[in-house]
Every structure is written in C-alpha cells, then in structure tokens.
Amino acid sequence: MSLSQAAWKAEQAMGHNDNAITAQDVTNPGLDREKWGDASEIMKALCWMGKNDVQMVETPKPKVIEPRDVILKVTGSTVCGSDLHLLHGSVVEMQKGDILGHEFCGIVDDMGAEVKGLEKGQRVVASFQIACGDCYYCAKKLSSQCEKTNSNTIEKGMYGGNTAGMFGYSHFTGGFAGGQAEYVRVPLGDVNLLKLPDDVPDEKGLYLSDVVATSWNCVVDTGVQEGDVVAIWGAGPIGQMCADFSFMNGAKRVIMIDQNWRLDFVKSKYPKVELVDFSKLSNTKGVVNRLKEMVDGRGPDVVLECVAGEYPKSIAHKLEMAAGLETDSPEILNEMIESVRNYGRVGITGVYVGYTNHFNIGSLMERGIRFIGNGQAPVHLYWEDLLKKIQKGEIDPLKMVTHRVRVEDLDKVYAKFDKREDGMQKVYVQTRFSAPPCEGSPGLTTY
C-alpha cells in the first residue's frame, strides 16, 4: 500500500468534518454502482490504480444523485502537470479506481430538479474547483476556497483550513470523480459550469477550466505592473500563459528558466521571451547569478513559480523526500527569493502539498521580499472576463496546445507526458461526443 492510499485509510478511520453540503468520496460510479451508476450505459474513464499506474477502464455512466447535479457528456479534457503529482503519489489520499481529470468541458446531458439556468444540450465548461456559491469565500468569488464542498479532516489539520472540493484530485480535496472520461457528474452544476458561446470552440473554452485562469491569477495576484521585469520558472503551459499575461499587464521584459526542447518551443511561440537554460549553468547559484547579470545586478522585480515542489535537484533533498522528512523541495523557491530584487515579489502557483526543509527565510525577511502563495486559482473570479478576452482574440489558448489525442489513449498519453516525450506540452483530449476539430487545432495523434 502506498503512502497516498494509507493516508486515505487514515481519513476513513478518523471520519470527515461536517461542513460539506454535497456528497464526498464519489470518485467512480463503478465503486458503488447501485447508488452512483447509471446501468444503462458504460463509459471509458482513466483511473488511478496505484503509484505510477493509471489505466483506462470501463465503468457505468454517472447518474444524478443530488438535486443540483448536472451530468455532462465530456467533449474535451486535458492533462495537467498537476495530474502528475497524483500519478507519482505526491498528493495523498488516493483510492484505487479513482477517476482523474480536473479540466473539462462538455454538453449538458441530464440534471437534477433544482438546477437553474441550464438546459440539456448546452455547451459548458467546468471550473476545476467545486463551489457552493454562497459561503463567505464564494460571495467574494474566491471559489477555490469554498467552505462547503470539502470536509476532509487531514487537509484541515495540515493546512489550518480546507480548500474547496476539486474534480479528480484525490479524497484530500473531497473525492470527486474527474473528467478524463466520457461522462462526468458536476455537483452544484448551476454554480460550477459556464456556458460557452458559439464563437468559442471547445478547443479554446476548455482551458478556462484551469490553465488560463490559473495563469492569470498567478500574474495579477503577484502584482505584475507596468515596466516590471518578470522571471518565470517553468516553460510548461502555465509558464507560457504567464509570459503572455505578464506582457498584457505591462511587463517590459519576461525571462523564462527551464531546459531542453521546452525552451525551443517557447522560442518558437513567444519570441519576446528571454531564455535561461539552467542545465547549462555550472554551480548551485548559477540561475541566481545569471538573473542578477541580466537585470542591472539587482534581479527581476517579480518572479513566478510555475513548476512544483516535487522535483528536487540536489542529492540531499532527494534523500530527505525519499525518507519522508519533507514533502516538497525548497530549491526553486530559494532560487527565486535570492534572484528577485530587494522588496521584490515572489508568486507561487506550482503545487506544494506539505512541508519543506532548508527554506531561506532569512533572505525573505532581511531583504523585504513579498512571498505570495497564489493558492488554487479562484476560477469564478476571472472566467467570465477571460472568456471575453478569448472572444476578442486577446487570448489564444491554442498557442500552448501541441497534441490532440483520444480519450481511450489517455494511459499512454500520461506516460508520454510524464517523460516529456514527443514534444508534448498541452493536449486536447477528444471523446466520441467531440465536435470536429476547430481551425488551428493540432491534428489527431493516436497511440
């Protein structure tokens, strides 16, 4: 049994808190066919089966189990770097058979009697978080911190409070089946679905679910301003969108730190972005020194973390993580703190799940660094305005999309994505319900 599974057993033994207004731990309709499954139809879905093991399975279509549920025919989903944290067992409380996937769009197939404002057949995109719509945080549209959709005891104990429930992201965040499937149940659907207009195809609207809103939140929450020099760690989809959004918010320069073909991709798509290949720098302070050299000897005004804490560089942190002495490495965070100018701003959007050692709090305090945990992005705060920007052509999510794949190939796609093979960045996952590809969509790749 992996640590992730053991944590779920511990949660079961302790029991949940009593704050949630929607059913918890409904991660696959096949795990309780009578209560959660619609026996009239079988669907394909990607399931977590153990550490570093995901598999395509056939399982019953979900059914309405609460009066504000919406059942979607999934027309598009994707794979996120955050999904790899589940694959690797970095995020705790996984159960064998959990359906993954927190970014998806689709067509309304069925709904409960109390759903308002939606009709069958409408195209919609889901937010990756599940919000109630009326608690303290939801009233401010800070939907990722909803107080009524996640009653996990361990999360509250570790963090001092719960986040919102999240699709396909373990029992730690409420235990909700994800959208890497042909159908998905959306609790409180009239709050957590946004209608997509005819002039926004699924291949663009899908990414409002997470990556576009998360990147926008990273930039504006960290406070990128007119004339700033911004450095971004991570050349994946989030980093790429953050580069675009930094320029949109007035940055005069953007520098990106990563390695290999990922930087080549950025160079081809985002020619204004300056590049630093950390693998070609000779010592542990190589990135810090290079950024100081590039920016007046002081360093950037703003630095953004778009990687995650599960990737240690040094032997020491590899050993500490393997021994369970820390869950996350602080090495990128320390690079950022030491690289940014005095009184500069550090924004953390890459996933960090627990505790870390050897964090340079001295530099943070003595140099007046603003250290900002951007949090899970509050999608509801931004998605209506971001949709308008997509409609106007100000944002083009397809810039970061490299592959179009089939849902039945998702287990193979995870393997490719994890190993960073085939030049894979962001994917669009089609199902039997998907519309024909829109203009600019990559051609279909099968595995």
pLDDT digits (tens, 9 = 90+) for 116-160: 999 999 999 999 999 999 999 999 999 999 999 999 999 999 899
Which residue is it, tokens 């319900």?
Answer: 433
Tens of pLDDT, residues 254-292: 999 999 899 999 999 999 999 999 999 987 799 999 999
Q: Per the structure, how many domains does the chain have?
A: 2
Q: Which of 352, 373, 394 is the last residue of a domain?
A: 373
| pLDDT computed for residue 301 by the predictor | 98
Average confidence (pLDDT) over 30-41: 95
The partner residues of 38 in beta bridges, in order of sequence, read: 61
Domain that holds residue 200: 1-210+378-445
Indicate the pLDDT class of residue 1, thresholds 50, 70 and 90. Answer: low
Residue that finishes a domain, picked among 373, 390, 416? 373
Domain shared by 259 and 130, yes or no: no
Task: State whether 282 and 429 are in the same domain.
Answer: no
Domain identity same for 55 and 94: yes
User: Residue 2's domain is classified under what CATH number?
Assistant: 3.90.180.10
The pLDDT tens digits of the residues spanning 159-200 come to 999 999 999 999 999 999 999 999 999 999 999 999 999 999
Which pLDDT belongs to residue 23?
97
The predicted-structure confidence for 345-375, as pLDDT tens digits, reads as follows: 999 999 888 889 999 999 999 999 999 999 9
CATH number at residue 341: 3.40.50.720
In this structure, are 147 and 253 located in the same domain?
A: no
Average pLDDT, the chain: 95
- Of 331, 357, 373, the last residue of a domain is 373
Judge if 271 and 195 occupy the same domain: no
